[in-house]
Amino acid sequence: MPADVPALPVIRRAVTRDLPRLGTLGALLVQAHHDLDPRRFLAPSRRTPADYESFLSTKLEDGDATVLVAEVHAEVVGYLYAAVQGYDYMSLRGPAGVLHDLVVFPEYRGRGIGGLLVNAALAYLKARGAPRVVLSTADGNQAAQRLFARIGFRRTMVEMTRELEGETSTDET
């Protein structure tokens, strides 16, 4: 294939050999969120790639979850982690598919890879009987919000955060 023709990504289930690359992508996800709001989101550390790799390794064989990867020229360039969940009274929702993570390396963004991953996850979750799919995005992540809106997601919740460190009292009476 000529160098100026982009390769079509292959979407597939993640396997053990993908874990180091998934750890790197997970660390990128943590860093991106921390950059948006360092008081709300975890700070990445030198252990973040290994910790993310370890976490995702537990999901590869989980019958209620899927970790999908996007491959270009046999290299993992993005991943999505989703799971089927039951009732969640804290979220006031019934059974649903939940998209937990979606990340694509910056140099591969804008090529439709995120949308391919989401659509593959939607097919997986529908086949598993999920009646709906929910997700959360960082407030400042406008690109992700546009992607999800294009795919048909609608806003249903707004998370709000207030720091308590250093406060004495908020008595307003």
Stretch 139-156: mean pLDDT? 96
Rounded mean pLDDT of the chain?
93
How many residues are recorded in the chain? 173
Domains of the chain: residue spans and CATH: 10-149 (3.40.630.30)
In angstroms, the CA 100 to CA 118 distance is 11
Residue with the larger pLDDT of the pair 167 and 44: 44
Whole-model pTM: value is 0.90
Torsion of CA 24, 160, 122, 57, to 10 degrees: 30
Residue ranges of alpha helices (H) inside 48-164 are 48-57, 113-127, 142-151
Q: How many CB atoms lie within 10 A of CB 85?
A: 18
pLDDT level of residue 170 (50, 70, 90 thresholds):
low
Q: Tell me: the pLDDT tens digits for 49-95? A: 999 999 999 999 999 999 999 999 999 999 999 999 999 999 999 99
Average pLDDT over residues 18-43: 97
Contact criterion met (CB below 8 Å) for 42 and 34:
yes
- pLDDT for 1: 45
Return the C-alpha torsion angle 11, 61, 57, 159, nearest 10. 80
DSSP structural state of residue 167:
-
**Band (7; pLDDT cuts 50, 70, 90):** confident
